[in-house]
Structure 1
C-alpha cells in the first residue's frame, strides 16, 4: 500500500508569489526602453562621430596622399619617408624624453605633495588650491609667463640673481628641454596631487591602525599599504601623463619655438611645422597617425602591466 501524498497549501490570507509574465506587452515595453535610451545617446554618438571618428578617418585617408591639398595618391610613400626622416627621429626622441621625465616627475612630486597635504596641517586647503591654480591656467598664459621670467635680458629671474650678486643664466639656451620639462611639471603636478589625495582619502584608516598595532613603522606602512592601494590612481596618472606628454605642443611653441637647434622640437610641434609651414598635409597626416598608433600601444601596455600590479586587501 503506497503512502498518501500531501500537497502544501498556502495558509489563508498569505500573499501568493507574483509570476512575471513576459508576454508581447513586456517585450514591447523593453524595446521602447532600448529605443529611448539610444535616442538620448544619439547626440553623443553624433558628436563623437563628427568630432573624433570622422577626423581620424580623414587623417588616415590624407596620409596616403601628397601635395599642398593632399589630393595626389602616394601610397605608402609618406610612411616610408617618415621612418627615413632624421628630423622626425629627433622630434620623436625629444618627445619620448619629455614624456618619460614629465610622467615620472608628475608621479613622484604629485604623490609627495599629496602625502604632505593629507596631514592635518594648518592652511592645507590654501596650499592645495595654490598648487592647483597653474593647472587651471591655459598653456598659452603659462608659456608667456615663464618665457618672460626666463628671458636672459629682461627676465625677472636673472634680474633677481643679478641683484643678489649671483651669475645670470641663459636658461632657454643652455638647458632648453630641462626648462620646458620643469615648466610643464610646475603646471601639472597640482592635478596629479589632487588625484593622489583622492586615492589616499579612499584608503580605510583601519588598515593603518592594524599595521601600527602589529609594529609597522611609517615607511613600512607606506610600502605595504599606501603604495599598493594607490596602484589604480598611479595607473591612471601615468596613462594620462604619457598621453599628455606625447601630445605636448604649447610649451615648445611658446617658450622655445622648438629651438635651439631642434632640442625642444616636440613631435606635435614638428607635425605643426610640416603642415602649416611646409604645407605638406599628407605627410603631416601620416606623422599624426603614427603618433596615434604609438599612443594606443603605450596605453594598452600600461593598462595591462598596471592592472597586474593592483592589490586588494
Structure 2
C-alpha cells in the first residue's frame, strides 16, 4: 500500500509531459511548415521534375530516351569544350580571388587610417547586381566606344580588343574584381580571430615576417580558406550572367561556360531533356568537387 502511494506522484509528471511534448512538436511543425512548403514547391519539386525531364528528348520532351541524354553528353564535343572552359574559368577565379583577397586582408588588418573606408569600397562590386557588373564591363571594354580604349588612345598607347583577343581571361578578371571584396572580408574575419599570443611567441623565437605568415597565419586560416574555396568553386561552376552579358560565349565559343551552354541548349535549340541531363551532370560534378575539397581540407586541418 505504501509503495503504491509513493509511485503515483512520480507517474503523474510523466503523463503530463507527454501531451506537452506533443503540443511543442505541433507548434514547431507549424512554424516550420512555411519553410518546408517553400522548399518542397520551389526546390525539391523542380529538382525531381528536371530529373524526369532529362529522361526524354525532343522539342517538347515527350520522346522517352532513358539514359540516352546522359550518354550523349559524354560524346558531345560542344558540352566537353564548355566544361573544360568552365574548369579553366573556375580555377582562375578561385585561385585569383583567394590570393588577392588574402593579400588585401593582411594589408587591411594592419592599423592604418581609413581602414573601414577601404573595406567598404572593396565590398561595393560584390554588393552590386551582377547584371550591372556585366553591362558595366561590357561598356568599358567595348573596342569602339569603351572607356578603356579612349584612355589608351589619349595616352598614345595601342588600343585593345580584350573581348575578342582574351575573352576567357577577361571574364576571369571581371569575376575576381567582383568577388574579391567578399573574399577579403572573410579573410579579415579569420585574421582577427587569430590570437596575438601566437605572433608574439613566434616573434620571441626569432621568426621573420614571412615565417610568421607561413607557419602561423596560413595554418590558422585553413578553415576560412576551405570555406572560400568550396563556395568559390560552386559559384564558378554555375556562372551564367557574365558570359551572357559580356562575351555571349564568343568568340568561337572561347568563353562558352557550361551553364551558358545549358541555357542555349534549352532555350536556343529547345532541347529541354538534353539540357536537363547536362544540368544533372553538373550537379554531380559540383557535389564530387565539394566533397573532395571538404575531405582534403579536413585532413589539412587535422
Q: In structure 1, what is the Cα distance between the partners aligned to 2:42 and 2:179?
A: 26
Q: CA offset at residue 49 of structure 1?
A: 1.3
- Which of the numbers 78, 81, 85 marks the counterpart of 2:69? 78
TM-score by length of structure 2 reads 0.94
- Where in structure 2 are the equivalents of 1:95-244 lying within 5 Å? 95-244=86-235
TM-score by length of structure 1 reads 0.91
Q: CA offset at residue 38 of structure 1?
A: 2.2
Q: What does residue 293 of structure 1 align with?
A: 284
Q: What does residue 26 of structure 1 align with?
A: 17
- Residue 258 of structure 1 aligns to a residue in which SS? coil
- Residue 18 of structure 2 aligns to a residue in which SS? helix
- Residue 110 of structure 1 aligns to a residue in which SS? helix
Q: Could you list the runs of 5+ residues in structure 2 that have no partner in the other structure?
A: 1-9
User: Structure 1, residues 113-171: CA drift from partner, whole Å, max 9, x if none?
Assistant: 10000111111111111111000111111111111111111111111111111111111
| Structure 1 residues 21 and 81: alpha-carbon distance in aligned structure 2, compared to 1, 3 A threshold | same
- Residue 75 of structure 1 aligns to a residue in which SS? coil
Q: In structure 2, what is the Cα distance between the partners aligned to 1:102 and 1:22?
A: 60
Q: CA offset at residue 30 of structure 1?
A: 2.4
Q: In structure 2, what is the Cα distance between the partners aligned to 1:286 and 1:113?
A: 40
Q: What does residue 272 of structure 1 align with?
A: 263
- The yes-or-no answer on 1:60 pairing with 2:51 is yes
- Residue 176 of structure 2 aligns to a residue in which SS? helix
Q: CA offset at residue 20 of structure 1?
A: 10
Q: In structure 2, what is the Cα distance between the partners aligned to 1:183 and 1:200?
A: 26
Q: CA offset at residue 32 of structure 1?
A: 2.4
Q: In structure 1, what is the Cα distance between the partners aligned to 2:202 and 2:19?
A: 56
- Which of the numbers 256, 273, 277 marks the counterpart of 2:247? 256
Q: Could you list the runs of 5+ residues in structure 1 that have no partner in the other structure?
A: 1-18
| Structure 1 residues 173 and 20: alpha-carbon distance in aligned structure 2, compared to 1, 3 A threshold | farther
Q: In structure 2, what is the Cα distance between the partners aligned to 1:36 and 1:236?
A: 34
Aligned CA RMSD, in angstroms, stands at 1.4
> Paired residues, what number?
293
Q: What does residue 26 of structure 2 align with?
A: 35
Q: What does residue 81 of structure 2 align with?
A: 90
Answer with 1 or 2: which has the greater Rg. 1
Runs of 4+ more than 6 Å apart: none
Q: In structure 2, what is the Cα distance between the partners aligned to 1:246 and 1:74?
A: 27
Q: In structure 2, what is the Cα distance between the partners aligned to 1:200 and 1:51?
A: 38
Q: CA offset at residue 265 of structure 1?
A: 0.2
Q: In structure 1, what is the Cα distance between the partners aligned to 2:246 and 2:145?
A: 15
Q: In structure 1, what is the Cα distance between the partners aligned to 2:19 and 2:201?
A: 55
Q: In structure 1, what is the Cα distance between the partners aligned to 2:144 and 2:180?
A: 29
Q: What does residue 8 of structure 1 align with?
A: none
Structure number with higher helix proportion: 2
User: Structure 1, residues 194-218: CA drift from partner, whole Å, max 9, x if none?
Assistant: 1111111111112112222222221
